[in-house]
Structure 1
Amino acid sequence: MGEEVKLHGMWASPFSRRVELALKLKAIPYQYIEEDLSNKTPSLLRYNPVHKKVPVLVHNDKPVAESMVIIEYMDETWENNPFLPRDPYERAMARFYAKFIDDKLLPTLAKLGRTAGKEKEETIEEIHEQLKVLEDELKGKQFFGGQRIGYLDIVAMILVWLHLAGSITGQKVLSTEKFPLIYEWIERVMKMEVVNECLIPEEKRQDWIQLAQRAPKSASN
């Protein structure tokens, strides 16, 4: 059947980029629409009137918002290259750790740029505790999804962004010594062409850091 797929996104949004990665892993043709979040298009406001954020996937004129909801929608709509495990318990755990990343790790990372001194040290310690949870989840696995990239790997791409940010700013909260399994995973996924297509281009990474430091929390999800 003829299908029309559009993605409203923003180049510096890891949430938008995770949906792009999912689309590419599923080999779904799509039209990408870049949004200026300071001057949002009428289409974005119409398709996502509740949050007014990117990303928004529009499938045959039906909008789906929020990155994890979009990825699950895609997995149910296009059955090739499934992201979520078939086993109900493993599927529940993938969702659990994905929520852990978005609800726990990301807000703690966001605090890092707003703290100094002892508070900054405490924030880094909290980040390390949360990263240890993900390190343990990788034991005995090539990917979070097992032997191939899956739902939790797509959500966990924020770890690759964290690695890139540390390389630019010199503030490396993610170290090889503390988190060897996460580093091996980062090296493994960064060898995948489809992953590199969805990362910030090298020439724009400094702009991305500056934008991330002043971007409102509500910019994307």
Structure 2
Amino acid sequence: MAEEEAVKLFGTWRSPFSRRVEIALKLKGVDFKYYEEDLTNKSHLLLKYNPVHKKIPVLVHNEKPIVESLVILEYIDETWKEGFPILPKDPCQRSHARFWARFLDEKCLPAIEEACLRSVDREKAVEEACELLKLLENELKDNKFFGGETIGLVDIVASVISCWLKAFQQVAGVELLTKEKLPKLCEWSDEFVSHAVIKGCLPPSDKLLASLRAHFETVASKELCT
């Protein structure tokens, strides 16, 4: 069996964390088998490969599981060295990319969720999220992508902004990513989603919107019951 044929990805269609792994695999040209998980009824394979956190995504390579999306992205880059580079070769630039990838996951995403889901003092939450996104935008400088002229680690992690954030805004009725507030980030987003590989990895917008609306309605119902 060829090495690429031994690759499996466990994820869910609407998860930006699953999709970023899919993007990396496809940019690298790695063949893999995808397993769609129902997180309300997790498969025995998911529980087998990720018994600690029981979460997606999980990449399985030659029956060896790798978990946590940022860890998986680095594993993919180190394992399939030929072709599309995800992280820079220079150690300083690699550290820089890791910093901004974690900034997205640990700072930007929680702030975006807070801005979209908070029912009290939403204006303040939106302002705080926009300030973090502005810091991210400044990191683009005059480059087409965060990785320079080609897509890299930070771009892949920031895919949540180019697709999911736009859907979040529409459902929640807030404005975070606009050409007036964040022109460079909007320009980056348009460039990113127009890439042939990226376009094929993003969830259908109508399906994502319907899923998010159902999620927001569930959250609102729980707030009314407390």
More helix by share: 2
Matched, 1:196 2:199: yes
The answer to whether the 8 A contact 2:171-2:213 is kept is no
- Show the counterpart of 2:2: 2
- Aligned identity (percent) is 49
Cα distance in 2 for partners of 1:211, 1:191 equals 28
Query: Tell me, what secondary structure is at the counterpart of 1:81?
Result: coil
The answer to whether the 8 A contact 2:167-2:209 is kept is no
One-letter identity of the residue aligned with 1:190: V
- Structure with higher RCO (Cα < 8 A, 6+ apart): 1
Structure 1 residues 59, 211: closer, same or farther in 2, change over 3 A?
farther
Cα distance in 1 for partners of 2:133, 2:205 equals 25
- Per-residue deviation, residues 151-196 of structure 1 (Å, max 9, x unmatched): 1100011111212432455422111011111011011011112111
Deviation of 1:41 after TM superposition, in Å, equals 0.4
- Per-residue deviation, residues 35-76 of structure 1 (Å, max 9, x unmatched): 000000011011011110000000010000011100000000
- Show the counterpart of 2:107: 104
The answer to whether the 8 A contact 2:14-2:203 is kept is yes
Structure 1 segments unaligned to the other structure (5+ residues): 216-221
- Show the counterpart of 1:63: 65
Query: Tell me, what secondary structure is at the counterpart of 1:176?
Result: coil
- From 8, 16, 19, the equivalent of 2:18 is 16
Q: Pairwise mapping of residues 1-221 of structure 1 onto structure 2 (< 5 A)?
A: 2-3=2-3, 4-79=6-81, 80-117=83-120, 119-160=121-162, 161-167=164-170, 169-213=172-216, 214=218
- Show the counterpart of 1:218: none
Q: TM-score, normalised by structure 2?
A: 0.90
The answer to whether the 8 A contact 2:8-2:32 is kept is yes
One-letter identity of the residue aligned with 1:180: P
Say how many residue pairs are matched.
Answer: 214
Cα distance in 2 for partners of 1:201, 1:114 equals 22
Cα distance in 2 for partners of 1:212, 1:174 equals 21
Deviation of 1:32 after TM superposition, in Å, equals 0.3
Query: Tell me, what secondary structure is at the counterpart of 2:84?
Result: coil
The answer to whether the 8 A contact 1:163-1:172 is kept is no
Query: Mean Cα displacement is larger for which, 67-76 or 193-202?
Result: 193-202
Q: TM-score, normalised by structure 1?
A: 0.92
Cα distance in 1 for partners of 2:118, 2:172 equals 15
The answer to whether the 8 A contact 1:190-1:196 is kept is yes
Cα distance in 1 for partners of 2:63, 2:190 equals 38
Cα distance in 1 for partners of 2:60, 2:53 equals 15
The answer to whether the 8 A contact 2:168-2:212 is kept is yes
Query: Tell me, what secondary structure is at the counterpart of 2:117?
Result: coil
